[in-house]
């Protein structure tokens, strides 16, 4: 017998829960596929200037609407072809990952911080604060899907920054609700009573004692929110409410390609596939994380 | 039951008030003079003074909100900047188109979602199950504004099977009664118009149904798996009932309870998604109207449209909750 089997004699239940979770995540093939897509996406976003073959906003009158490499007229110079201003599509896609990543990080962080704060206050102090905060969350949830984001941007003015704020606001309730639920549950447990008995203050109890125990569902929600933030930001930019030209943003690229649909379908195809792939990656990974970290939701 | 319904309606009031406060405040948080925003840049000083007087823009904020609420109660959503029509009149004109599209999309997603979910659950871990669940994940990750354009490219431009946009061809005449074209065509027995209307709605409805179909399929599958594990299903099988009877007569009924809530919640996705879908397919509904208003900075329309869609959504959620209580008597007592 090899080393491997002697290791297996150890009771798997003795291992640290974190290792068990990691193990489960690793065995979930779709989650690993999602993780690989996410890592590729993040690396592309970070190293965009290094790997993109051309400047994403540099126009070239001589290279307008060049088809991708596999067309008869394609060339190695522009592997995925060019748009109507002669900008290299591959470079724009690569830099687009950066824009999407930035939007997702900023808007989800915003929602995470505000939502966690409101949720902890709600769950810890209960009573009036809880009622008030949860009613406000209900009001935000009364706006379907991206309507609130559209309205917020319509008033603040179209820009990528305002799109991030708008998406961030609409995601606050999901975090607030999760944290509130977990905090309510944790507050009933003895360790919180013990912390109170030794005179720890509320901020310490919430931050140091309670919140680390709610991390699982929060991590899952954060990952899944990344997926929807990328999708919503692309939708807002498609409507002309997010990134403004010449920013290489995937949704905005699709919007611009609408008039070219007859002449150059590739200008429209690739940005859409990029959005689909990035969002799918985060969704797959998030689903896997949920199975591993949140046993209540496992089927 | 009645008490439950009344209580649910009472909870709605603060939510709707909150929605109206947000919509009201947004105009005031926007940089610039609200009167000018509402009347457009071309407005004369006289017109501006008139709207200030009418909306009480010179009064303190809480008085203004009171006036705003009073007008809402009377059903007065103001006038649009561009067409100078009553906002409410325009909403009424356009909303049947949106409802028609959303309901068609909802039917599509219920049908495909439930069927896929049932088959996946009964053949768990089969190839079909893997493929349909992967498909569902792709579905929830789909940028539908892009999918709509891809459909257009394939079915309208390359194959020339389906019309590219709009609700009805120009050469088709249809006497409108309800403004729901499919219903109108049926009522007036106008078969060419019915065919034409259906032909126009296929692509936008399928585009809009992508995400709800995927969500309903996943929900049906997991609800079905939960039910199939229970003892009474084993009993039914042990009695020698056919697979068909066990699934459709015994399991499906209970599995559908959580699915109904999911389906109800999808209306929100549909109403929001309608803005994207209607814009792509030039579908003359509330969504496209709102989009145009955002582009033209017609704040009266944005205000009115937002209030309308949010109230509609809240109302539908209420109906879903009540329906849920009806089909699941366990929760109605609490």
Per cent of chain B over pLDDT 90 is: 19
Determine the pLDDT at residue A118.
93
User: Do you know the residue count of chain B?
Assistant: 334
Residues paired with A100 in a beta bridge: none
Which among A142-156, A157-171, B298-312 has the top mean pLDDT?
Answer: A157-171
Indicate yes or no: CB of A299 within 8 angstroms of CB of B150.
no
Residues of chain B with Cβ-Cβ distance to A287 below 8 Å are: 137
Determine the pLDDT at residue A91.
86
Calculate the CA B223 to chain-centre distance.
Answer: 24
Indicate yes or no: CB of A154 within 8 angstroms of CB of B29.
no
Between CA A229 and CA A170 the distance in angstroms is 10
Closest CA to A248 of A62, A94, A105, A85: A94
Closest CA to A147 of B96, B284, B318, B290: B290
Residues of chain A with Cβ-Cβ distance to B281 below 8 Å are: none
Residues paired with B86 in a beta bridge: B79
* Range scoring the smallest mean pLDDT among A276-280, B220-224, B252-256: B252-256
* Range scoring the smallest mean pLDDT among A250-254, A267-271, B288-292, B323-327: B323-327
- List the Cα angle A239/B316/B285 in 5-degree steps: 35
Residues of chain A with Cβ-Cβ distance to B275 below 8 Å are: 146-147, 150, 239
User: Do you know the residue count of chain A?
Assistant: 299
Residues of chain A with Cβ-Cβ distance to B150 below 8 Å are: 268-269, 272
Residue A209 CB-density burial (10 A; 0-12 exposed, 13-18 middle, 19+ buried) = middle
Mean pLDDT of chain A: 84
Determine the pLDDT at residue A13.
61
* Range scoring the smallest mean pLDDT among A72-81, A110-119, A177-186: A72-81
Q: Residue B44: left (phi > 0), alpha (psi -120 to 50), or beta?
A: beta
**Closest chain B residue by Cα to residue A282:** B141
Determine the pLDDT at residue A173.
93
Measured in Å, how far apart are chain B's first and last C-alpha atoms? Answer: 10
pLDDT digits (tens, 9 = 90+) for B137-171: 999 999 999 999 999 989 988 888 888 888 877 77
Of A239, A283, A287, the CB nearest to B279: A239
Indicate yes or no: CB of A272 within 8 angstroms of CB of B146.
yes
* Range scoring the smallest mean pLDDT among A12-21, A196-205, A223-232, B5-14: A12-21
Which among A92-106, A206-220, B22-36 has the top mean pLDDT?
Answer: A92-106
Say whether pLDDT at A117 is over 60.
yes
Determine the pLDDT at residue B101.
92
Structure tokens of A295? Answer: 């046993």
Residue A153 CB-density burial (10 A; 0-12 exposed, 13-18 middle, 19+ buried) = buried
Say whether pLDDT at B230 is over 80.
yes
pLDDT digits (tens, 9 = 90+) for B256-300: 888 888 888 788 788 888 889 999 999 998 989 988 888 887 888
Pairwise pLDDT comparison (B189 vs B127), residue with the higher score: B127
Q: Confidence band (pLDDT; 50, 70, 90) for A295? A: low
Determine the pLDDT at residue A5.
47
Determine the pLDDT at residue A234.
93
Mutant choice from A151, A170, A265 vs B, greatest count of B C-beta within 10 A: A151
Of B143, B150, B226, the CB nearest to A234: B143
Residues of chain B with Cβ-Cβ distance to A261 below 8 Å are: 149, 152-153, 157
Q: Confidence band (pLDDT; 50, 70, 90) for A2? A: very low
Residues of chain A with Cβ-Cβ distance to B279 below 8 Å are: 239
Residues of chain B with Cβ-Cβ distance to A30 below 8 Å are: 134, 137
Structure tokens of A96? Answer: 């687009």
Residues of chain A with Cβ-Cβ distance to B142 below 8 Å are: 276, 279
Say whether pLDDT at B124 is over 80.
yes
The residue behind tokens 């961030």 is A168
Indicate yes or no: CB of A154 within 8 angstroms of CB of B302.
yes
- Burial string for A83-98 (b: 16+ CB within 10 Å, else e) reads bebbbbbbbbbbbbbb
Say whether pLDDT at A299 is over 80.
no
Q: Which residues contact A121 (CB under 8 A, 6 or more apart)?
A: A129, A130, A133
Determine the pLDDT at residue A3.
46
Q: Residue A298: left (phi > 0), alpha (psi -120 to 50), or beta?
A: beta
Q: In this structure, what DSSP letter does residue B169 have?
A: -
Q: What share of chain B is helix, strand, coil (3-state, %, to 5)?
A: 75, 0, 20
CA-based nearest distance A202→chain B, Å: 30
Which among A37-46, B27-36, B171-180, B323-332 has the top mean pLDDT?
Answer: A37-46
Per cent of chain A over pLDDT 70 is: 93
Mutant choice from B28, B149, B281 vs A, greatest count of A C-beta within 10 A: B149
Per cent of chain A over pLDDT 90 is: 31
Determine the pLDDT at residue B334.
46
pLDDT digits (tens, 9 = 90+) for A200-222: 888 888 888 888 888 888 888 99
Residues of chain B with Cβ-Cβ distance to A152 below 8 Å are: 26
* Range scoring the smallest mean pLDDT among A232-241, B58-67, B288-297: B58-67
Between CA A142 and CA B289 the distance in angstroms is 20
Structure tokens of B304? Answer: 């009115």
Determine the pLDDT at residue B113.
93
* Distance set, CA B283 to CA A4, A102, A134, B164, B167 (Å): 63, 33, 36, 10, 6
Q: Which residues contact B173 (CB under 8 A, 6 or more apart)?
A: B193
Number of Cβ within 10 Å of residue B282's Cβ equals 12
* String of DSSP letters for chain A: --HHHHHHTS-GGGS-HHHHHHHHHHH-HHHHHHHHHHHHHHHHHHTHHHH-SS-TT---GGGTTPPPTTSTT-BTTBTT-B-TT--BHHHHHHHHHHHHHHHHHHHHHHHHHHHHHHHHHHHHH-HHHHHHHHHHHHHHHTS-TTHHHHHHHHHH-S-HHHHHHHHHHHHHHHHHHHHHHHHHHHHTSHHHHHHHHTT--HHHIIIIIIGGGGHHHHHHHHHHHHHHHHHHHHHHHHTTSSSPTTS--HHHHHHHHGGGTTT-THHHHHHHHHHHHHHHHHHHHHHHHHHHH-GGG--
Determine the pLDDT at residue B115.
92
Q: Confidence band (pLDDT; 50, 70, 90) for A10? A: low
**Closest chain A residue by Cα to residue B31:** A156
Between CA B277 and CA B191 the distance in angstroms is 26
Between CA A45 and CA A57 the distance in angstroms is 16
Mean pLDDT of chain B: 84
Question: How many cross-chain Cβ pairs, A to B, lie less than 8 Å apart?
Answer: 130
* Range scoring the smallest mean pLDDT among A53-67, A130-144, A193-207: A53-67
Residues of chain B with Cβ-Cβ distance to A269 below 8 Å are: 150
Residue B69 CB-density burial (10 A; 0-12 exposed, 13-18 middle, 19+ buried) = middle
Whether A63 has its CB under 8 Å from any CB of chain B: the answer is no
Between CA B161 and CA A258 the distance in angstroms is 20
pTM of the model: 0.87
Say whether pLDDT at A182 is over 90.
no
Say whether pLDDT at B109 is over 80.
yes
Closest CA to B222 of A72, A146, A197, A290: A290
Structure tokens of B182? Answer: 């499919």
Q: In this structure, what DSSP letter does residue B167 have?
A: S
Between CA B116 and CA B220 the distance in angstroms is 8
The residue behind tokens 């705003």 is B68
The residue behind tokens 């940089």 is B31
Number of Cβ within 10 Å of residue A145's Cβ equals 25
CA-based nearest distance A50→chain B, Å: 28
3-class DSSP assignment, residue B86: strand
Residues of chain B with Cβ-Cβ distance to A137 below 8 Å are: none
CA-based nearest distance A5→chain B, Å: 28
Indicate yes or no: CB of B140 within 8 angstroms of CB of A241.
no
Longest CA–CA span in chain A (Å) reads 77
Determine the pLDDT at residue A297.
52
Pairwise pLDDT comparison (B132 vs A2), residue with the higher score: B132
Say whether pLDDT at B331 is over 70.
no
**Closest chain B residue by Cα to residue A227:** B141
Q: Confidence band (pLDDT; 50, 70, 90) for B330? A: low
Q: In this structure, what DSSP letter does residue B153 have?
A: I
Say whether pLDDT at A1 is over 50.
no
Between CA B53 and CA A120 the distance in angstroms is 45
Determine the pLDDT at residue B294.
85
Determine contact, residues A187/A214, Cβ cutoff 8 Å. no
Measured in Å, how far apart are chain A's first and last C-alpha atoms? Answer: 35
Of B19, B268, B275, the CB nearest to A139: B19
* String of DSSP letters for B286-303: HHHHHHHHHHHT-HHHHH
CA-based nearest distance B255→chain A, Å: 14
If you average pLDDT over residues B177-202, what whole number do you get? 83
Indicate yes or no: CB of A135 within 8 angstroms of CB of B15.
yes
Whether A269 has its CB under 8 Å from any CB of chain B: the answer is yes
Mutant choice from A144, A233, A249 vs B, greatest count of B C-beta within 10 A: A144
Whether A234 has its CB under 8 Å from any CB of chain B: the answer is yes
Of A142, A154, A231, the CB nearest to B143: A231
Which among A59-63, A152-156, B135-139, B228-232 has the top mean pLDDT?
Answer: B135-139
């Amino acid at each position: 017998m090899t080393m491997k089997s002697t290791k297996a004699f150890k009771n798997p239940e003795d291992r640290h829960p974190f290792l068990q979770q990691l193990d489960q995540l690793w065995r979930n093939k779709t989650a690993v596929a999602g993780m690989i897509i996410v890592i590729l996406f993040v690396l592309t976003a970070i190293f965009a200037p290094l790997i993109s073959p051309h400047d994403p906003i540099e126009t070239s009158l001589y290279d307008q609407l060049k088809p991708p490499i596999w067309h008869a007229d394609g060339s190695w110079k522009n592997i995925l072809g060019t748009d109507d201003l002669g900008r290299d599509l591959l470079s724009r896609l690569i830099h687009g990952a950066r824009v999407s990543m930035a939007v997702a990080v900023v808007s989800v962080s915003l929602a995470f911080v505000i939502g966690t704060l409101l949720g902890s206050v709600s769950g810890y102090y209960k009573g009036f604060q809880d009622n008030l905060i949860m009613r406000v969350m209900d009001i935000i949830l009364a706006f379907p899907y991206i309507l609130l984001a559209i309205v917020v941007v319509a008033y603040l003015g179209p820009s990528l920054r305002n799109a991030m704020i708008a998406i961030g606001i609409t995601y606050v309730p999901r975090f607030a609700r999760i944290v509130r639920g977990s905090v309510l549950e944790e507050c009933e447990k003895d360790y919180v009573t013990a912390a109170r008995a030794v005179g720890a203050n509320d901020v310490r109890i919430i931050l140091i004692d309670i919140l680390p125990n709610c991390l699982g569902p929060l991590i899952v929600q954060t990952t899944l929110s990344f997926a929807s933030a990328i999708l919503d930001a692309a939708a807002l930019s498609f409507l002309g409410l997010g990134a403004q030209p010449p920013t290489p943003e995937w949704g905005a690229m699709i919007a611009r390609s609408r008039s070219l649909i007859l002449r150059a379908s590739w200008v429209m195809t690739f940005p859409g596939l990029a959005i689909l792939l990035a969002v799918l990656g985060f969704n797959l990974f998030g689903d896997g994380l949920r199975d591993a970290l949140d046993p209540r939701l496992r089927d | 039951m009645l008490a439950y319904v009344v209580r649910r309606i009472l909870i709605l009031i603060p939510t709707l008030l909150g929605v109206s406060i947000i919509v009201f405040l947004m105009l005031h948080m926007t940089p610039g003079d609200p009167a000018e925003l509402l009347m457009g840049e071309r407005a004369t000083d006289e017109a501006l003074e008139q709207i200030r007087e009418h909306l009480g823009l010179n009064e303190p904020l809480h008085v203004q909100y009171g006036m705003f609420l009073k007008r809402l109660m009377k059903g007065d959503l103001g006038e649009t900047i561009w067409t100078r029509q009553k906002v409410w009149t325009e909403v009424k004109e356009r909303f049947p188109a949106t409802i028609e599209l959303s309901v068609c999309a909802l039917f599509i997603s219920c049908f495909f979602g439930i069927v896929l979910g049932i088959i996946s659950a009964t053949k768990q871990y089969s190839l079909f199950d893997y493929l349909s669940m992967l498909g569902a994940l792709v579905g929830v990750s789909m940028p539908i504004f892009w999918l709509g354009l891809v459909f257009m490219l394939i079915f309208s431009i390359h194959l020339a099977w389906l019309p590219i946009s709009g609700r009805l061809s120009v050469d088709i005449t249809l006497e409108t009664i309800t403004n729901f074209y499919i219903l109108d065509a049926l009522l007036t027995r106008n078969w060419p118009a019915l065919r034409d209307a259906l032909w126009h709605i296929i692509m936008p409805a399928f585009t809009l149904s992508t995400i709800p179909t995927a969500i309903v399929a996943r929900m049906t599958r997991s609800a079905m798996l939960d039910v199939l594990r229970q003892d009474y299903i084993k009993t039914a099988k042990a009695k020698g009932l056919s697979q068909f009877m066990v699934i459709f007569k015994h399991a499906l009924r209970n599995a559908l309870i959580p699915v109904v809530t999911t389906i109800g919640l999808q209306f929100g996705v549909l109403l929001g998604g309608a803005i994207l879908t209607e814009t792509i397919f030039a579908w003359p509904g509330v969504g496209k109207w709102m989009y145009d208003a955002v582009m033209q900075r017609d704040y009266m329309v944005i205000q009115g449209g937002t209030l309308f869609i949010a109230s509609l959504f809240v109302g539908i959620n209420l109906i879903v909750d009540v329906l849920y209580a009806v089909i699941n008597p366990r929760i109605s007592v609490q």
